[in-house]
Structure 1
Amino acid sequence: MDRLELLKALLAVAEEGSFTRAAHKLNSSNQLVSKYVSELESQLSVRLFNRTTRRVHLTEAGQQALLHARRILESYADMENHFSQYQGAISGRLNISAPVSFSTLHLAPLLQSFKQHYPDVCVNLELSDRKVDVVEEGFDVVLRIGHLKDSSLVAKKIAPVRLVMCASPSYLRANGVPNQPEDLNAEHFLRYSYMEFEPANSQLIQVLKSYAHSKPSAMVANNGEVLKSAAVVGDGYVLQPTFIVGEALRQGQLITILDDFEVEPLGLYAVYPHRKLVAPKLRVFIDFLSGYFGDPPYWDQFDQV
Structure 2
Amino acid sequence: MDRIDAMRAFVAVVTEGNFSNAANALRLSPQLVSKYVSKLEDQLNTRLLNRTTRKVSLTEAGSHYFGHAQQILLSIDDMESQLGGLQQNPKGVLRINAPVSFALKHMARLVTDFQRRYPLVKVDLQLSDRKVDIIEEGFDVALRIGQLKSSSLVAKPVAPIRVVLCASPQYLATHGTPTQLADLNHHRYLHYSYMNMEGREDLYQCLKTKYMQQGSEFRSNNGDVLVDAAIAGAGLILQPTFIASTALSSGKLVIVLPEFEPEPLGLYVVYAHRKLLPHKVRCFIDFIEGYYGSPPYWDESITTR
- 8 Å Cα contact 1:187-1:217 kept in structure 2: no
Larger radius of gyration: 2
Q: Distance in 1 between matches of 2:78 and 2:55?
A: 25
User: Compared with structure 1, are the counterparts of its residues 43 and 217 closer, same or farther at alpha carbon in structure 2 (3 Å cutoff)?
Assistant: farther
Q: Distance in 2 between matches of 1:187 and 1:83?
A: 58
- 8 Å Cα contact 1:141-1:282 kept in structure 2: yes
**Could you say what secondary structure the match of 2:274 adopts?**
coil
- 8 Å Cα contact 2:192-2:221 kept in structure 1: yes
Q: Structure 1 counterpart of 2:240, which letter? A: P
Number of the residue aligned with 1:167: 167
Number of the residue aligned with 1:135: 135
TM-score, L = length of structure 1: 0.73
Number of the residue aligned with 1:213: 212
Instruction: Please show how residues 1-305 of structure 1 align to structure 2 within 5 Å.
Output: 75=74, 78=78, 81-82=81-82, 85=85, 88-185=88-185, 188-198=188-198, 200-202=200-202, 204-304=203-303
Q: Distance in 2 between matches of 1:44 and 1:266?
A: 54
Q: Distance in 2 between matches of 1:83 and 1:44?
A: 36
TM-score, L = length of structure 2: 0.73
Instruction: Calculate percent identity across the aligned residue pairs.
Output: 50
Q: Distance in 2 between matches of 1:121 and 1:5?
A: 34
Q: Deviations over 1:254-291 (max 9, x none)?
A: 00001111111100001111134422111111111111
Q: Give the C-alpha shift of residue 84 in structure 1.
A: 5.5
**Could you say what secondary structure the match of 1:184 adopts?**
helix
Q: Distance in 2 between matches of 1:95 and 1:245?
A: 28
Number of the residue aligned with 2:35: none
**Could you say what secondary structure the match of 1:148 adopts?**
coil
Q: Distance in 1 between matches of 2:236 and 2:133?
A: 32
Q: Structure 1 counterpart of 2:139, which letter? A: F
Number of the residue aligned with 2:34: none
- 8 Å Cα contact 1:94-1:121 kept in structure 2: yes
Q: Structure 2 counterpart of 1:267, which letter? A: G
Q: Give the C-alpha shift of residue 3 in structure 1.
A: 8.7
Q: Give the C-alpha shift of residue 89 in structure 1.
A: 3.4
Q: Distance in 1 between matches of 2:266 and 2:302?
A: 22
- 8 Å Cα contact 1:186-1:211 kept in structure 2: no
Structure 1 alignment gaps of length 5 or more:
7-41, 47-63
Q: Distance in 2 between matches of 1:43 and 1:228?
A: 68
- 8 Å Cα contact 1:186-1:216 kept in structure 2: no
Q: Give the C-alpha shift of residue 92 in structure 1.
A: 1.2
- 8 Å Cα contact 1:166-1:239 kept in structure 2: yes
Structure 2 alignment gaps of length 5 or more:
1-11, 18-53
Q: Distance in 2 between matches of 1:83 and 1:170?
A: 59
Q: Distance in 2 between matches of 1:186 and 1:175?
A: 9
- 8 Å Cα contact 2:97-2:139 kept in structure 1: yes
Moved more, 286-295 or 262-271: 286-295
- 8 Å Cα contact 2:184-2:207 kept in structure 1: no
Q: Deviations over 1:19-49 (max 9, x none)?
A: xxxxxxxxxxxxxxxxxxxxxxx96779xxx
User: Compared with structure 1, are the counterparts of its residues 174 and 136 closer, same or farther at alpha carbon in structure 2 (3 Å cutoff)?
Assistant: same
Q: Give the C-alpha shift of residue 85 in structure 1.
A: 1.6
Q: Deviations over 1:151-205 (max 9, x none)?
A: 1211110000000000000000010000112212466111110000055122x11
Q: Distance in 2 between matches of 1:86 and 1:297?
A: 28
